Structure 1
Amino acid sequence: MATAAIITLIIIGVVVLLFATDWLPIDLVAILTMLALVLTGSISAEEGVAGFSNKATITVAFMFVLSEALLKTGALQVLAQRLSKLFKQNFNLGLLLMMLLIAFISAFVNNTPVVAVFIPVVIQIAHRAGLSPAKMLIPLSFASIFGGMCTLIGTSTNILVSGIAEKEGEAAIDLFAMSKMGIIFLVIGIVYMLIFGKKLLPNRANQDLKQRFNLRSYITEIEILEYSNSVNKAIMDAEMVKDLHLDVMEVRRSENKYNQPSGDFVLKANDVLKVRCNVDKIKTLKDQAKIVVATPIKIGDDDLKGKASTLVEMVISAESELHNKTLRELDFRRRFRAIPLAIQHRESISNEGIYDVKLRSGDIILAEVKTHYVKELKRIESKQKPPFVLLSEDVITDFDKPKFSLVLSLILIMIGLAAFNILDIMVGAISCVVMMVLFKVINMKELYKAINWKIIFLIAGTLSLGTAMVNTGLDVYIANFITYQLGSYGPVAIVSGLYLTTSMLTEIMSNNASAAIMAPIAIATAHGMDMEALPFLITVMFAASATFMTPVGYQTNAMVFSAGKYTFVDFFKVGVGLNILFWIAASILIPLLYF
């Protein structure tokens, strides 16, 4: 083996160690890798930075923007709200439909932001259904991985491997080239999770997770409007009370007040309920109300129809002018352009409405403001003696049907043109984003913010590994070794060996990094056996994405790892069987379907 190839192999070994130990951020490791390869002469300076102009890198960047544009329409929140009812009726059916929904979306939208949107929704669904979120978050991540493997644009790994293949002179991989095997993996994965995986998931108490997220209790008032489905129903049977476990403290009907009403108390139109609940439950009420045409409830005096709003928590400061005054006396709504939804008192609250409660230092007001006005509230907060301190802010995404239709139409056109090889996927993604900016679905500031620069730097940096392996001949050395050891057993053994090696690498380092290392080896192996490279490249694609045994190999696993309070053992117990099943299926079916 030549000296240059040995140096490259040593650098790869150090990179694997750094990825596995997490001593440095993965994007920094990728850039250091590029520098090391340039300084040791394995690649030129131009080849080192070529990853930033690679089609794969650019395509992935613009796919992040497409994902953000879709999320901004609020469509996924609507889908999630519909899904929550299924879990209450039938957990298995709910889990099946959730995984199918996540997989379908992840096949065409980058799965990382999809999982980010659904994590709080799944936690909320679990609380409503009386389940541990740990029973649902790993299936959420795994479903996004299953779906991402079904198309070229479903995951950055597939785009990266395709980009490496084109750079090495191979034909571009079609949008649905991996779909037939991907769908088989999807079926295997979902069946496994429904039969075996769900039994292996931990069942940790909800209370621990609530404490972890520090959910605060508020007092608010909810008016039941004429067309609400809670009219003429007992409190214990009212959907919003039952779903969110609201604590009804009082019912006000005309001039009459009913303190601590019993569960069989029948609600009427225009009843005002004083309830105790947390911020998430108030936000859920708002989200549900926005789905229907006629809003069935009011929170405080808010009809819930506002657009582009943000929930803020305002803590009354020690020397605040708000102390010992009511919201009515302060003309709070007009003065701060904020709609008060609830108040958190240190002691029990009196029977007056929230506008008539005497405020005290340390009380927290939960209010809704127009998103653009949050800056003004922060300016007020920065004064020498501020009336309040902003504790948190949470943007509310409303379902915007016209924008959703536009975004969906553009994405479908892009997919159609790419599927029939009329338009390159990179050009299609850029065109879609430009159209969305022109139609004001997303602005340039949001565009830059939507791109996950950590992933972009990771891809650009690790692409230099593949170039170095080709330049130094290391890919040929490894390919010849694989062919010598396994070639006599036929393509099944080669595919099996490539899959297993890539899968093991991915479990200890980034999926994109392992794909960047293994794709040149797959191409060299195909050339050494005088065969087409596509089956071997698809093997690397699947193996680099199908990582289930640890939370470090794939971003979505890492995201649910902390949210669900999982341990490494939890992932291993659920994922080891799935990894083995996928390896066996790939070894048998990829040769049958692609050779």
Structure 2
Amino acid sequence: MPDLHAAGAILIALGMFYGFINGRLRVELVSLLTIAAIALLLYVFPMPGQDKYAGLALAFEGFGHYALVTICSLMILGRGMVVTGALDPAARALAQIWRTNKSFALLFTLVVCMLLSMVINDTPVLVLMIPILVQMAVQGGMPASKTLMPVNAAILIGGMSTTIGTSTNLLVVSIANDLGMRPLNVFEFTPIVLFAMLPALPYMWLVMPRLLPDNTRAVAVESRHFLAKLRIAKDSTLRGKTIEEARGRLPDGVEAWLPPGAGGHVGHRVLATGTFEGLQEAARKLSATLAPNWLVERIRADSGRSGKDMMVAEMIIAPDSRLIGLTPKTAGFEGVAMLGIHHVRQPLRDTRPHTPDAPMKEGDVLLVMGMPDDLHRFAEADGLLQLEGGQEIVRSGKAPVAFAIMFGSVGLASAGLVPIAISALTGAILMFATGCVRFERVGRALSGQVIVLVAASIALGKFMLVSGAAGWLGGLMAAWLQYLPPAGVLAAIMVFVTTLTNFASNSAAAAVGTPIAFNIAAKLGLPAEPLVLAVLFGCNLCYATPVAYQTNMMILAEGDYTFGDYLRPGIPLVLIMVAALSASLVFWYGI
């Protein structure tokens, strides 16, 4: 039987898993309670040969661990790629392919998402893909409920193929390093996962969409359309062309026409209507701006001087607003730029002309750009109600810089020149130094939930090891696994960890599973590395429940999924990956 400390470690681990499964307490609170329980137990009952303060060092070790620093640095690198628009060209290319061939587009999207998530955290990749897939569904493509889950699965599979693909991978590798395993290169086990992708990719492409419902009606929402002016640049080749030629360059969903008195040919103004995203794309294609160029440059200069991001916000005209009855030309906006206006439907017949220069009325929605403080003052002074969730302006001029920093950070670690902890931290510092990520906005890059979860998992993993709990559990499992061939041992470990992952937390599963795998390897006379990778892979096979991983929750509302919608396609995918990964590990390590 386990001694006091081993039994305490097992009970704390069970309590952590129960807290995650139960769901009544937030993940952060469960993580902090786990750390507190370890600290209190080792303070009251110190480990043999140690004083009561040694336990505090073990309990709080995770907050200073290099794995946590690496994870935070990679979050900042991913944030830099998003806010600079470095991933936008890939998004536009995908959108274009979706308009031509839906079946091939899904396959291409799956492959691209796998490749992106190898070096960029899973969450930013999914954030990039959700609006594309939802918009393509609105425009007649495959229903979002049939594409979001396969794409999410592809992102998770890509994320498991490198040491930096997910925070869980880094956690498993760092715990294994602490236990004496050699450091693994960034792409060390990528070929193993690529082999396992071969049977999984056709399943995600051809079978998963058939197992998922068509929830188009349930999730369909009417996107707000804005009236806007496209200010054509002086050197634009569109000047002097007909409006039909201009319409040929517009993205789907955007309509354009000439203002009165234009004479039939494009001059310095074109009127348009569409969603904000559509108008942005139209401005890009027509070499135009949605606000006067001098005003945009002034706001951009203010952003550079203050170090704050430019924001775009929607504001509703309140009943007591001074703007009612005025036109955007006569309103005299100060410090902000109006990009468009949405005319609310009037109770009686609306006689306003269909133009952004029409008089404003109560309930109209303005789309405005400016600095956060200026937007707040504008809303207060002019009687406007700002809607929640302002959007940052992409700093596209920094996109090549952000891409170069990310490529350099990953490249240095991949070549083995420096550890990933050093290259990722250096990359994060460069993101701050070059302005790709604003230091005061770093909170948007870092996840407090991930930080405390990783810190608690590191502490729990260390306690499981030094208390002897991992050795006791490893011996118990080895007694059953000794009759299985190596592939069966690997598959059993993966299934065990996968079960914990899908119903609790992959970080907690990593903390418990990694030291147990080490002990099983020692007792069965197998190399530790493939068993540790079985734990790492098992932590990433989180397709079967919505609570298994944060990206699963992100697609829940967009696809209007139920719990059963995850189980039905998720369980077969888990079984395919377990079989393929087990066979691949046996072949790769020759065991």
1:355-370 → structure 2 map (5 Å cutoff): 356-367=357-368, 369-370=369-370
Q: How far is 1:311 from its partner?
A: 2.6
TM-score normalised to the size of structure 2? 0.87
The within-5 A match list for 1:554-569 is: 554-569=549-564
> CA deviation digits over 1:242-276, x for unaligned, max 9?
x22x577x7656368xxxxxxxxxx9645977665
Please list, as runs of the form range in 1=range in 2, the aligned pairs for 1:168-207 lying within 5 A after superposition: 168-205=179-216, 207=217
Q: Is the 8 A contact 1:314 1:364 kept in 2?
A: yes
C-alpha distance in structure 2 between counterparts of 1:23 and 1:494, whole Å: 35
User: Are 2:545 and 1:550 equivalent residues in the alignment?
Assistant: yes
- Superposed, 1:83-102 pairs within 5 Å as 83-102=94-113
SS class of match (2:103): helix
Equivalent residue, structure 2, for 1:342: 341
1:32 Cα deviation from its structure 2 partner: 0.8
Distance 1:72 1:224, change over 3 A: closer
Among 366, 375, 378, the alignment partner of 2:376 is 378
Q: TM-score, normalised by structure 1?
A: 0.87
Of residues 73, 81, 94 in structure 2, which corresponds to 1:70? 81
Residues in 2 aligned to 1:302 and 1:143: alpha-carbon distance in whole angstroms = 41
SS in 2 for 1:75: coil
| Distance change >3 Å, CA 526–CA 399, structure 1 → 2 | same
Distance across 1 between alignment mates of 2:329 and 2:246: 33
Q: 2:410 aligns with which of 396, 408, 415?
A: 415
Distance 1:230 1:20, change over 3 A: farther
Q: Specify the alignment match of 2:50 in structure 1.
A: none
Q: Is the 8 A contact 1:492 1:591 kept in 2?
A: yes
Q: Which amino acid aligns with 1:337?
A: V
SS at match of 1:366: strand
Query: Which residue in the other structure is 1:3 paired with?
Result: 4
Residue aligning to 1:20: 21
- What is the match of residue 264 of structure 1? none
Identity of matched residues, %: 23
Contact 2:395 2:436 in 1 (8 A): no
Q: Which moved more, 1:508-517 or 1:41-50?
A: 41-50
The aligned counterpart of 2:513 is 518
Residue from 386, 390, 399 that aligns with 1:390: 386
- The Cα shift of 1:456 comes to 1.1
Q: Distance in 2 between matches of 1:204 and 1:566?
A: 8
Contact 1:327 1:354 in 2 (8 A): no
Distance 1:228 1:16, change over 3 A: farther
**Distance in 1 (alpha carbons) for counterparts of 2:359 and 2:237:** 33
Matched, 1:115 2:126: yes
| 1:315-326 map, 5 Å | 315-326=316-327
| AA aligned opposite 2:155 | S
Q: Which amino acid aligns with 1:208?
A: A
- Inter-CA distance 20–397: structure 2 relative to 1 (3 Å threshold): same
Q: 1:192-219 CA distances to partner (integer Å, 9 max, x unpaired)? A: 11121121122112x43243xx633444
Secondary structure, aligned partner of 1:151: coil
Superposed CA deviations along residues 17-74 of structure 1, whole A, max 9, x for unmatched, are: 2111211111211111121122223871110000111121111111101111111220
Q: CA deviation at 1:407?
A: 2.5
1:493-530, Cα deviation, whole Å (9 max, x unpaired): 21111011001111101111111110010111112223
Residue type at the aligned position of 1:172: P
> What is the CA distance between 1:396 and its match in structure 2?
4.9
1:486-505 map, 5 Å: 486-505=481-500
1:286 to 275, 280, 283: 280
Q: Any idea what SS the aligned residue of 1:497 has? A: helix
Aligned residue for 1:254?
Answer: 261
SS at match of 2:329: helix
The 1-side partners of 2:433 and 2:291 are apart by 38
For 1:392 and 1:481, how far apart are their aligned partners in 2? Answer: 53
Partner of 2:31: 30
SS in 2 for 1:129: coil
Distance in 2 (alpha carbons) for counterparts of 1:149 and 1:165: 16
Q: Given the superposition, is the C-alpha separation of residues 340 and 67 from structure 1 closer, same or farther in structure 2, using an over 3 Å criterion?
A: closer
Question: How much does 1:419 deviate?
Answer: 2.3
For 2:396, which of 386, 395, 400 is the aligned residue? 400
Q: Deviations over 1:298-354 (max 9, x none)?
A: 65767998666433222222222222222222233xx35323412323326546464
Counting only pairs closer than 5 Å after superposition, residues 415-454 of structure 1 correspond to structure 2 as: 415-454=410-449
Aligned residues: CA RMSD: 3.0
| 1:420-477 superposed Cα distances (whole Å, 9 cap, x missing partner) | 3221110111111122222232232233431112101001012222122212212112
Map of 1:121-160 to 2, 5 A cutoff? 121-160=132-171
Matches within 5 A, 1:475-490: 475-490=470-485
Q: Measured at CA, do residues 497 and 382 of structure 1 come closer, stay the same or move farther in structure 2, by a change above 3 Å?
A: same
Contact 2:229 2:356 in 1 (8 A): no
Residue from 557, 580, 588 that aligns with 1:585:
580
Amino acid at match of 1:324: G
- Letter in structure 2 aligned against 1:357: A
Structure 2 unmatched ranges of 5 or more: 48-54, 301-308
**Cα shift readout 1:543-570 (whole Å, capped 9, x = no counterpart):** 1012111111111111111222111111
Cα distance, 1:224 vs structure 2: 8.2
Secondary structure of the residue aligned to 1:326 is coil
Contact 2:296–2:337 (Cα < 8 Å) also in 1:
no
Q: Is the 8 A contact 2:543 2:574 kept in 1?
A: yes
Superposition deviation, residue 163 in structure 1: 0.9
Q: Which residue of 2 aligns with 1:208?
A: 218
* Partner residue in 2 for 1:574: 569
**Aligned residue identity for 1:286:** Q
CA distance in 1, matches of 2:232, 2:563: 47
Distance 1:410 1:217 in 2: 37
Letter in 1 for 2:28: D
SS in structure 2 at match of 1:339: strand
Tell me, in whole angstroms, the C-alpha distance in 2 between the residues paired with 1:576 and 1:229: 57
Specify whether residues 137 and 439 from structure 1 end up closer, same or farther in structure 2 by C-alpha distance, changes over 3 A only.
same
Whether contact under 8 Å (1:75, 1:399) holds in the other structure is no
User: What is the DSSP-based 3-state SS (H/G/I as helix, E as strand, rest coil) of the residue aligned with 2:139?
Assistant: helix
Q: 1:319 to 1:237 in 2, by over 3 A?
A: closer
How many corresponding residue pairs?
565
Counterpart Cα distance in 2 of 1:415 and 1:377: 38
Q: Secondary structure at the match of 1:329?
A: coil
Q: Does the CA-based 8 Å contact 2:226-2:340 persist in structure 1?
A: no
CA spacing shift, 1:120–1:585, aligned 2, 3 Å: same
Whole-Å Cα distance in 1 between the matches of residues 118 and 180 of structure 2? 26
Gaps of 5+ in 1: 257-266
412-421 or 422-431: which moved more? 412-421
- Amino acid of the residue matched to residue 218 of structure 2? D
Q: Output the amino acid matched with 1:344.
A: H
